[in-house]
Structure 1
Amino acid sequence: MRQSACINTLIRRRDNASEPKITDSISPKEASPTLSRLGFLVALGFLRLTSVLPLRLLHWIGGGLGWLFAVIPNRSAATTRRNIAACFPALSSAEQESLARQSLKGMVCTGLEMGKAWILPIEGTLAQVTEVEGLAALQAAAKAGEGVILLAPHLGNWEIFGYFACEGIASNFMYQPPKNPQMDALLRGVRAKSGIQLAPTNRKGVAILLGALQKGELVGVLPDQVPTDEGGVYADFFGESAFTMTLTSRLAQRGTPRVFCGFAQRLPKGKGFKVIVHEADAGIYDKDLGASAAAINRSVERCVRLAPEQYQWEYKRFRRQPDDSAFY
């Protein structure tokens, strides 16, 4: 059964599934068909190196590599330009190109920052955040045991955002493991360092999320990924039709959870990150899935407009169209 079909079934009928065990092992002993042991060690070494380099230096390097992405023809640059042209039609061609180049630089910076999120002890990761706005409301809702749904779009550094926003809160995120077992072990260890519980992207995982909300815990969702056929509806996003997941909408209709949306904005001159959290658009609680999905996208769009150059525009968000036409 496909993931989205499982989700729809489970919203109506809970599965008696237990929570998956999290391991913090980072041993690269297992062979992988997609990434050699040597390749994994190189990647791990790179992450460890970038974890100790100053943010300002990483962003300087990211600016240079991002410039190369902008001038050398490649798929990421083409998708970025297409998305920006569609979502910001009021900008001139020069302004769209400037935003695209800034976005490509941000894309590289995000990759270079992952050492700070994945390798440093949790205290070091949390220390990357130097400014906070709006988080108190989320913390109060979590403390009251109301159940919280946190929308974390691919904006700024979503890894650092997740760790900071969920600090001290019982939290659960869906997790689809990579094919490489060594990288899977690394990422599980990364999540475990902050106490975040992982739920598989299947029927069992949805049951875990439902149970977490009923216990008044936090459930984290990445709201801007294109779902499978049964798991989404079309809704407006920056004036374009975007196939949007209904999982969040269905979760929001179970009990009385509070829904928030936020991100970690990259600050200039390597001064760290500013965590920004907003209460999501009230339309999310609408029982009509289309209206709820539109509210989710409005919540994401509100965040993106605060730092459009830091959004993941290289992702093919509009690859599914209502008339099956080719957007890209």
Structure 2
Amino acid sequence: MRQSACINTLIRRRDNASEPKITDSISPKEASPTLSRLGFLVALGFLRLTSVLPLRLLHWIGGGLGWLFAVIPNRSAATTRRNIAACFPALSSAEQESLARQSLKGMVCTGLEMGKAWILPIEGTLAQVTEVEGLAALQAAAKAGEGVILLAPHLGNWEIFGYFVCEGIASNFMYQPPKNPQMDALLRGVRAKSGIQLAPTNRKGVAILLGALQKGELVGVLPDQVPTDEGGVYADFFGESAFTMTLTSRLAQRGTPRVFCGFAQRLPKGKGFKVIVHEADAGIYDKDLGASAAAINRSVERCVRLAPEQYQWEYKRFRRQPDDSEFY
């Protein structure tokens, strides 16, 4: 599962720092590990602090920082506004701006919540979920050994969602290590506490996922990331053409796995999260990859419409266009 945008930004800024007073006296080979570790220590301190603060306080802070993201020109805000304008053309300009501001606040809240997902013992992480809807069908399929594919879009808090849904279920997720080795070690430890098995993002990893499904286990997929050239097809998403991964489609065509889509919705006033799970659109099983990809996007869109302000609209989902035009 991908780590939050806010934590990524923090690490990148520390890793890429070029302050002369720090680096003038040491070579680049020495500077990089030093700054990398410094960035990790700052991030770890941040995560530990936010892990013990009440959710309501974190969301209050997130609201203030999100407001700053909305009023100060920046790439995240520009991308958010562009995506919302394209995906919700029926909204007025004022309504689109309101949704964009809520989304930017949600973006910051997600980053502030990662301490709850990554630092707390697993019991503390699971306790963040206070309401559940639709999970029983997935659990029954897993118990029956049918093999389950879980689509977890970047909506609400996808880290807490994954840990909660996978509790007590043999689960496998693809994992691309971050460049920072200390952060990689932290995230591997986080996955280990929940029992989630990690598969590399290559052919070997795909083979691991196929084997897991054949054994009746759960396979988790982030369905709303732009894939590589050979790994996707164009399909409709909120009325726009989105380059969509075909991995899920190919996995669904092997055997008879059940496919579900869901998210952990952030509740107001710091009251935790509501885990919502739906059975995915049946079109996912279509042998035509384009039709299957469209069904994946419909499944994601159904979830997003339940809480559009909690979707990761700052991600450049439409950066690849069929005609190579510039969307952003």
TM-score (normalizing by structure 1)? 0.90
Residue aligning to 1:126: 126
CA contact (8 A) 1:48 1:119 kept: yes
Question: 1: CA distance between counterparts of 2:184 and 2:106?
Answer: 25
Q: Deviation per CA, 1:51-105: give whole Å up to 9, x if none.
A: 0000000000000000000000000000000000000000000000000000000
CA contact (8 A) 1:178 1:184 kept: yes
Residue aligning to 2:6: 6
Q: Which has the higher contact order (CA 8 A, sep 6+)?
A: 1
CA contact (8 A) 1:70 1:101 kept: yes
Q: 1:58 to 1:134 in 2, by over 3 A?
A: same
CA contact (8 A) 2:17 2:35 kept: no
CA contact (8 A) 2:7 2:111 kept: no
Q: 1:27 to 1:19 in 2, by over 3 A?
A: closer
| Shift of residue 41, structure 1, vs aligned partner | 1.1
Q: Deviation per CA, 1:141-197: give whole Å up to 9, x if none.
A: 000000000000000000000000000000000000001110000000001100000
CA contact (8 A) 1:66 1:104 kept: yes
Question: 2: CA distance between counterparts of 1:183 and 1:308?
Answer: 30
CA contact (8 A) 1:280 1:299 kept: yes
Q: Report the RMSD for the aligned CA atoms in angstroms.
A: 9.2
2:236 alignment partner, SS class: strand
Question: 1: CA distance between counterparts of 2:9 and 2:53?
Answer: 47
Q: Deviation per CA, 1:104-151: give whole Å up to 9, x if none.
A: 000000000000000000000000000000000000000000000000
Q: 1:50 to 1:97 in 2, by over 3 A?
A: same
| Shift of residue 214, structure 1, vs aligned partner | 0.3
Q: Does 1:230 align with 2:234?
A: no
Question: 2: CA distance between counterparts of 1:12 and 1:234?
Answer: 31
Q: 1:84 to 1:12 in 2, by over 3 A?
A: closer
Larger relative helix fraction:
2
Residue aligning to 2:95: 95
Q: 1:250 to 1:147 in 2, by over 3 A?
A: same
1:168 alignment partner, SS class: coil
1:178 alignment partner, SS class: coil
| Shift of residue 37, structure 1, vs aligned partner | 1.7
CA contact (8 A) 2:249 2:284 kept: yes
1:98 alignment partner, SS class: helix
Q: 1:96 to 1:304 in 2, by over 3 A?
A: same
Question: 1: CA distance between counterparts of 2:34 and 2:205?
Answer: 25
CA contact (8 A) 1:4 1:231 kept: no
Q: 1:27 to 1:84 in 2, by over 3 A?
A: farther
- Structure 2: unaligned runs, 5 residues or longer: none
Matched residue count = 328
Question: 2: CA distance between counterparts of 1:50 and 1:3?
Answer: 15
Question: 1: CA distance between counterparts of 2:19 and 2:143?
Answer: 22
Residue aligning to 2:213: 213
TM-score (normalizing by structure 2)? 0.90
Question: 2: CA distance between counterparts of 1:28 and 1:257?
Answer: 49
| Shift of residue 39, structure 1, vs aligned partner | 2.1
Q: Deviation per CA, 1:251-284: give whole Å up to 9, x if none.
A: 0000000000000000000000000000000000
Residue aligning to 2:245: 245
Q: 1:206 to 1:24 in 2, by over 3 A?
A: farther
CA contact (8 A) 1:234 1:322 kept: yes
Q: 1:4 to 1:155 in 2, by over 3 A?
A: closer
| Shift of residue 232, structure 1, vs aligned partner | 0.2
Q: 1:19 to 1:199 in 2, by over 3 A?
A: farther
Q: Does 1:168 align with 2:168?
A: yes
- After superposing the two structures, state which structure 1 stretch, 173-182 or 39-48, moved more: 39-48
- After superposing the two structures, state which structure 1 stretch, 35-44 or 135-144, moved more: 35-44
2:107 alignment partner, SS class: helix
Question: 2: CA distance between counterparts of 1:228 and 1:133?
Answer: 34
| Shift of residue 36, structure 1, vs aligned partner | 2.6
Question: 2: CA distance between counterparts of 1:256 and 1:13?
Answer: 45
Segments of 4+ in structure 1 off by > 3 A? 1-35
Question: 1: CA distance between counterparts of 2:146 and 2:22?
Answer: 25
CA contact (8 A) 1:18 1:204 kept: no
Q: 1:18 to 1:150 in 2, by over 3 A?
A: farther
Q: Deviation per CA, 1:189-223: give whole Å up to 9, x if none.
A: 00110000000001110110000000000000000
Residue aligning to 2:15: 15
Question: 2: CA distance between counterparts of 1:37 and 1:56?
Answer: 31
CA contact (8 A) 1:131 1:274 kept: yes
CA contact (8 A) 1:20 1:199 kept: no
Question: 2: CA distance between counterparts of 1:24 and 1:170?
Answer: 50
| Shift of residue 22, structure 1, vs aligned partner | 35
Percent identity of equivalent pairs: 99
Q: 1:20 to 1:45 in 2, by over 3 A?
A: closer
- After superposing the two structures, state which structure 1 stretch, 1-10 or 220-229, moved more: 1-10
2:244 alignment partner, SS class: strand
Q: 1:227 to 1:303 in 2, by over 3 A?
A: same
